[in-house]
Amino acid sequence: MGRIAVTGSVAFDTIMEFGGRFGDFILPEKTNELNVAFLVEKLERRRGGTAANIAFSLALLGERPLLCAAVGGGDFVDYAAALEADGVDTSGVLTCDDMSTATAFITTDRDGNQITAFHPGAMARAAGVDLSAHADLSEVVVGADDAGAMALHVDQAQALGARLVFVPAQQIPAMPDTALRSGLEQAWLIGGNDYEFEMIRDRTGLSIEALGASRMVVVTRGSAGSELHSPDGVAVIPAAPVSEVVDPTGAGDAYIAGVIAGLRSGASHDVAGRIGSIAAAYVVEQHGPQRHRFDAIGFRERYAASFGADLQVRAEGWA
């Protein structure tokens, strides 16, 4: 089995926590003239971005993922060193010396709902990231990124014969119809939350059931758990218990990483989904998408405590 390349955003996240509920401040009948302000109680700057988050959790799960993303020249040095120390290969990044790394501004309310503004910075040049230089790839994750780069990396994954994990997320509205459909059609696995799949259905007419008839489709539903649809049926995955929901940012990225690592380890769909659920649980208990930590023993113990069964996979290592 070859390596995993992870494409998508690398960003600094400015996280703001709002103690109220967005719904109490937004009048649905007045959204055409929306003008609201939220008094945030906490603000932090953290390392994030879809690709970096997925790669980080993959590394914790025993993989050595190749991060393939466009980053700024001056502000990524310490970030790269931290990722390398945790087991992520950053040799695939494109450094843009004249630009800054992307920045996200995320406001989270007391129910875990989020409003995000995003400045792409160097991500706008992500089409310069060339996957064809890496012939040893067995999976390519195409996450939220510059829309043109996403289309290119879908095509490059196909040319390399790598299995495509397509996680378009926030970029669903920005992708041209042809590019979105190409990613969906070529994917080995499609991931997203229920809201994102509703956007896909609105854009393409393709339901979760239709997509899952010929490939794997992972749908997350927050505290309600998740589902893994495939031609073999639907695996319904319960949410793993958490000690406290501190911050949901990046939980979906960790879930995808867990599913990929599980499938690569020979896990069944049921078990791979539960691995993803445990990985996501670690994230929501911390502030930020890359502050969770676990080792193989601790992960196995938490899996057994959460689901009442030992973790069953074929691979060696953490699993």
305's CB contacts (< 8 A; 6+ apart) are: none
Instruction: Specify the pLDDT at position 102.
Output: 95
pLDDT digits (tens, 9 = 90+) for 257-293: 999 999 999 999 999 999 999 999 999 999 889 999 9
* Cβ pair 55, 83 in contact under 8 A: yes
pLDDT digits (tens, 9 = 90+) for 299-309: 999 999 999 99
Instruction: Specify the pLDDT at position 60.
Output: 96
Long-range CB contacts for residues 208-215, cutoff 8 Å, separation at least 24 = 211/184, 215/187, 215/188, 215/189, 215/190
Instruction: Domain 3-12+48-102+122-307: give its CATH superfamily.
Output: Ribokinase (3.40.1190.20)
pLDDT digits (tens, 9 = 90+) for 199-254: 999 999 999 999 999 999 999 999 999 999 999 999 999 999 999 998 888 999 99
pLDDT digits (tens, 9 = 90+) for 55-101: 999 999 999 999 999 999 889 999 999 999 999 999 999 999 999 99
Kindly name the residue from 86, 202, 253, 270 that is annotated as catalytic. Answer: 253
210's CB contacts (< 8 A; 6+ apart) are: none
Instruction: Specify the pLDDT at position 316.
Output: 53
Place of tokens 């193989």: 296
Cβ atoms within 10 A of the Cβ of 103, count?
20
- Mean pLDDT, the chain, as a whole number? 93
Domain boundaries, the chain: 3-12+48-102+122-307
Is there a catalytic annotation at residue 253? yes
